[in-house]
Amino acid sequence: MTAAAFTSAGFAQSAKKKVQKTPRAIALLEIPKNGKARLFPIAILDDGKFFDAGAYKAKPVPMALEPQTVYEGVLGGVSQGLFTITGAGQMNNVWFAEGTWLPTGAEAPRKGKKAEMPVIKDDRDAPPTLKRPGSEPKPSDKKPEKQEDKTPPPVVMKPVIPPPPDEPKPAPQPSADQNSDHPTLRRGVPTPKPEIELPPAQPSSQSASPRPKLADKNAPQTFVAISDAAGPEFRPYNFGAKPDEIEKYLKLMLDLAAQDVRKRIESLSAASQPVDASRAPKKTPSSFAAKGPRPKFSDIDFRVFDLSNANEPVWILTAKAQVPTSNPAPDAPATAEYYVTLVCRTDIYGDLRKLLSQITDARHLDVISRLQLIDAVDADGDGRGELLFREISANDSRGYVLYRFTGDTLWKLFDSFGGD
């Protein structure tokens, strides 16, 4: 990062040691349409351990929110600009900071301008003369020079010769009752054109872009922000998948998500209807894969990252799944909604390997939280990317969770709620 980060805390840079010794803070930066940016602390890495940045060394302001601390906003590992803290405060017992945002490529505002002497132009070359009171200027013997008539000559308008037209394309033959010398006007409802057989429309791949499109145009921009005096330089984590590859794996991920939702429904149904274990039939693994009504997915966010910079794609799917409720209660909705978070990687054969699957619903958020992907970020400064999620628990309690990709699984590095 920049040398200005954490200078107020007096931490020195140590380049010889391999372990990250200088603090490295992670935050969430929100920039609304009015440009008044706010920064919310997430975690801080100090001496190899992650701590809650909103409470770490708060004397009285957390160390991550001290004035003049500089954060760098990143998106997919690419720098977007610098945020300098000017002040911090609390809102609903949540710490945040306000400051100035300078996008990448923009010039910093000038603090002051040097005073410049005004230049007064005089048409006369002679020095100024002093006049005594009562004296009258003598009439000049020289006759005024005649001013040359500098009136510009009249502009002669030349006709514009259009370039030769291209070879005309063959036009359709007019009908018998239509005069070819006059244009035709269409009023009212146009005549329907004959139907033309078109190829089937391909599903859109916009949801697999590095950053999902915001449904609300007034929603603020969101970046992950990092403050670290030691660096290192940021690396992009985009994988660069082709559209047909994105469509292929999106379909496979939705199939896996549908299976996991069915498993979740079966487990909840079994827990709500206890039976005698001696009489209950033994369930085989294939029984969980029994096909029921396929969930209907919405709010799909599908992204892919190369977290290890080794051309190894990691696919992340978050969505809502609606499933018809069997025998719903009179006061219960006919459709149950589940929150899906699925993370997979592809092996050398192109098959998906599941790294994380988290299925929950509004009634069980106190047991299993809902996860929303924010972005990939280098949390510990080793150049590799980690996955940062927003965590939503019961009573709309919000926090953050950070996962490290190890090739075969995801290890939880930090959890605002303190879960394992």
Half-sphere exposure in the Cβ direction for 292 (13 Å, CA): 19
Query: Cα–Cα distance between 77 and 80 in angstroms, integer?
Result: 9
HSE-up (13 A, CA, CB side) for residue 174: 9
Q: What is the mean pLDDT of the chain?
A: 76
Q: Pick from 47, 50, 9, 5: which is nearest to 386 by CA?
A: 50
Provide the pLDDT for residue 285.
Answer: 45
Instruction: Give me the percent of the chain exceeding a pLDDT of 70.
Output: 62
Q: What is the pLDDT of residues 347-388, one digit of tens each?
A: 888 899 999 999 999 999 999 999 999 999 999 998 899 999
Task: Sketch the domain layout of the chain as residue ranges.
Answer: 7-106+218-228, 235-271+290-415
The yes-or-no verdict on residue 206 having pLDDT over 50 is no
**d(C-alpha 159, C-alpha 161), whole Å:** 6
Confidence of residue 177 (pLDDT cuts 50, 70, 90): very low
Q: Which own/partner contact pairs does 197-206 have at CB distance under 8 Å and 24+ positions apart?
A: 202/247, 203/247, 203/250, 205/243, 205/246, 205/247, 205/250
Tell me which of 314 and 230 has the higher pLDDT: 314
Q: Model confidence over 217-275: pLDDT tens digits?
A: 678 899 999 999 887 678 899 998 999 999 999 999 999 999 999 999 999 888 776 65
User: What is the model's pLDDT at position 341?
Assistant: 98
Closest C-alpha among 376, 159, 367, 406 to residue 264: 367
Per-residue pLDDT, averaged over 153-181, amounts to: 49
pLDDT at 160: 45
Closest to 378 measured CA to CA, from 63, 52, 76: 76
Q: How far is Cα 175 from Cα 209, in angstroms, rounded to an integer?
A: 50
